[in-house]
Amino acid sequence: MKKIVYIGLGSNLGDKEENIRFALNMIAETPGVNISGVAPLYKTAPVGMEQQDWFLNTVVEVSTDLAPLELLHKLQEIENRMGRVRKVHWGPRIIDLDLLLYGDEAIDIPGLTVPHPMMGERAFVLVPLAHLNPDLVLPGWGGVAELAVEMSERQQISLHLIK
pLDDT digits (tens, 9 = 90+) for 36-65: 999 999 999 887 666 778 899 999 999 999
Handedness of CA 159, 114, 118, 31 (dihedral sign): negative
Is residue 152 classed as helix, strand or coil in its secondary structure?
Answer: helix
Count other Cβ atoms within 10 Å, centred on residue 78: 21
What does the pLDDT read at residue 163? 63
Burial 112-142 (b: 16+ CB within 10 A, else e): eebbbeebbebbbbbbbbbbbbeebebeeee
Helices 144-154 & 123-132 angle (0-180, nearest 10)? 140
Average pLDDT over residues 7-22: 96
- DSSP-derived letter for residue 40 is P
- Is the predicted pLDDT of residue 93 greater than 90, yes or no? no
Q: Which of 9-13, 43-47, 77-81, 146-150 has the lowest mean pLDDT?
A: 43-47
Average pLDDT over residues 153-157: 91
Provide the pLDDT confidence category of residue 77 given band limits of 50, 70 and 90. Answer: very high
The highest-confidence range among 43-47, 79-83, 99-103, by mean pLDDT, is 99-103
What does the pLDDT read at residue 50? 67
Q: Which positions are annotated as active-site residues?
A: 84, 93, 96, 98
Domains recognised in the chain with CATH numbers: 3-118 (3.30.70.560)
pLDDT digits (tens, 9 = 90+) for 108-132: 998 899 998 889 999 999 999 999 9
C-alpha gyration radius of the chain: 15
